[in-house]
A and B are shown apart, each in its own frame.
Chain A
Amino acid sequence: MTPIIQTENLSFTYPASEERLALPVFENLNLEIEEGSFTAVIGPNGCGKSTLAKHFNAVLLPSGGKVWVAGMDSSDEEKLLEIRREIGMVFQNPDNQIVANVVEEDVAFAPENLGVPSPEIRKRVDDALKTVGMYEYREHAPHLLSGGQKQRIAIAGVLAMQPRCIVLDEPTAMLDPRGREEVVSTITRLNREQGITVVLITHHMREAVGADRVIVMHEGGILTDGSPREVFSQVELLRKAGLDVPQTTDLLYSLRNAGWDLPLDALTVDECAEAIAAALQIEN
């Protein structure tokens, strides 16, 4: 399979300002995101994960190296709109990315910018709103909706561009547990049912568990990269980087240290319970 996003020796340095010196965020980063995959990027604050995300749709341009998006060079200005159409981006604060004061007008914003004919916009807006389950709210004012609903509107607004990939930069950080659940299940469904590539940047380990692949970033580099099971079983490595592990892994790890013979890669609650039950049976 061809990667939809590929970074090639990517380096990025925030330019020096009056308050601080030039700040290199990452150097020689090589990364590939497969088309159709669900990748979670985790890492402590300030590790460069948001900066990385902004390279995926040419909001930031590399200071060194290249970023290839669906075969296009992100620093090619002529391809800018096409790149941004292919890679949709959802941000942390839902309030600051909703443009219009009617839900359907907001979802229509991107296709309007792309010059899509009106009947086609209508269809895309309706489809996008149905996909995120917000169709009944199409004539509502966004500021009266809950955080989770607003974030789903933001996702619909990106879907209306018909992108191949959606990058979400901590979309659940400002939401309550229910809103978080709504958003995560929506993006999981988009990936599974419509085959849209998803890159989810998060610091909630539980959200990363559902991904196909987890990339752990630390101090501008990739600490580890693999399936959730592979990544989360490296408890010591993650702890050293200042990261939590899912509660299930945490429990299994503690039990193992206490002398129980348990696997570390049981991620869901059910798997974890089964693993413990099996261990108890052997003991008896």
Chain B
Amino acid sequence: MLKDITLGQFFPGKSVIHRLDPRTKLLLLIIYIVALFMAKSWCSYALVLAFLVAVTFLGRIPFKAMTRGLKPMLVFIIFTAVLNLFYTKTGTLLLDWWIFEIWSDGIITAFFMVMRIMMLVCGTFLLTYTTSPIALTDAMERLLNPLKKLHVPVHELAMMMSIALRFIPTLIEETDKIISAQKARGADFETGSLMRRAKALIPILVPLFVSAFRRADELATAMECRCYHGGEGRTRLKVLRYAGRDIYAFIVGALLLAGVIVLRHFGL
């Protein structure tokens, strides 16, 4: 039941998008998000959407994978849509029934908000679909490197993230085992009020935490035995290098942002 967590799922591939430097992809995502939040008209939304579709196509990511990523966000998306639909009170009044009023602008705002959230989620998923977690943490470490001068523990943060990602499947497996063990002892997780069900989680969480701490302890010793002594003087197996395609990617990103800014300037 816990196996279908899509968090940070990676689709290995050899497409142009896969081969881009992870730093480029990370920066492009930021450009994309900025563009998305600056867009406020049909034209600019269309431009950003075109970019998203193009990247999805180039990365050969199946359409299904994108919609699957949206599923857990459904409640949030509906909530935002409803909120925007009823709280915008400009334009022409279309419907007035009991306490509900729907205005023409409400429909448009709600539509834009929903599009924005969906495109935001899809863009982020595109990054994790086409970039291995280890490349991603590596890219973050490199991009945040200047912060080391401000004594931000950049290497340690990146190391923690990659270890966390490494242990997700191990801990999920362990959780499944504990659930089975507790069920075999007659524990009931499926019935009763919300409060009761929440309480039923305690006998899962306690052993899980105990074992996670034990694992952490053993892992720390094993890392020390393999000469880990922080980020200082550390080299990498795979060194990140920008290639020609990264320059094109940055140009496309700049064009996207410029396009949205220009459209915004003309009030489109």
Contact = CB atoms under 8 A, between A and B. Distances in A.
Contact of B235 (A81, A105, A115): A115
Given A104-B237, A105-B134, A99 B227 contact: no
Contacts of B236: 108, 112, 118, 121
B104 interface: no
A57 B221 CA distance: 11
Nearest to B232: A115
Nearest to A109: B226
A30 B246 CA distance: 61
A53 to B, nearest CB: 11
Interface in A86-134: 88-89, 91, 93, 95-102, 104-105, 108-118, 121-122, 125
B5 to A, nearest CB: 14
Contacts of B163: 99
Nearest to B159: A99
A141 B173 CA distance: 14
B224 A93 contact: no
B219 interface: yes
Between A95, A113, A114, the greatest number of chain B beta carbons within 10 A of the residue's beta carbon is seen for A113
B228 A95 contact: no
B213 to A, nearest CB: 11
Contacts of B222: 89, 91, 96-97, 99
A66 interface: no
B11 to A, nearest CB: 13
Contacts of B249: none
Contact of B162 (A101, A117, A122): A101
Contacts of B229: 81, 113
Contacts of B165: 101
B185 interface: no
A91 B235 contact: no
B183 interface: no
B169 interface: yes
A148 interface: no
Given A100-B166, A113-B226, A121 B235 contact: yes
Given A93-B218, A97-B218, A100-B134, A122 B237 contact: yes
Chain B: interface size category? 20 to 34
Contacts of A110: 226-227
A78 to B, nearest CB: 12
B233 to A, nearest CB: 4
B215 interface: yes
B228 to A, nearest CB: 5
A101 B134 contact: yes
A216 interface: no
A116 B227 CA distance: 12
Contact of B234 (A104, A105, A113, A158): A113
B191 interface: no
Contact of A81 (B169, B227, B237): B227
B235 A118 contact: yes
B193 interface: no
A110 B234 CA distance: 10
Interface in B140-190: 162-163, 165-166, 169-170, 173
Given A84-B225, A109-B228, A113-B228, A99 B219 contact: yes
Question: Which of A57, A117, A143 neighbours the largest number of chain B CB atoms within 10 Å of its CB?
Answer: A143
A161 B225 CA distance: 11
Given A59-B221, A105-B237, A125-B237, A98 B166 contact: yes
A118 B229 CA distance: 18
Given A59-B224, A99-B166, A114-B227, A121 B219 contact: no
Contact of A112 (B132, B166, B218, B234): B234
B183 to A, nearest CB: 23
Contact of A161 (B170, B227, B235, B238): B227
Contacts of A228: none
A88 to B, nearest CB: 7
Which 9 interchain pairs have the tightest Cβ spacing? A97-B222, A108-B237, A96-B218, A110-B226, A89-B225, A101-B166, A143-B169, A113-B227, A115-B233
Interface of A: 57, 59, 81, 84-85, 88-89, 91, 93, 95-102, 104-105, 108-118, 121-122, 125, 141-143, 157-158, 161
5 contacts: A84-B225, A101-B133, A109-B223, A118-B235, A121-B236
Interface of B: 132-134, 162-163, 165-166, 169-170, 173, 215, 218-219, 221-229, 233-239
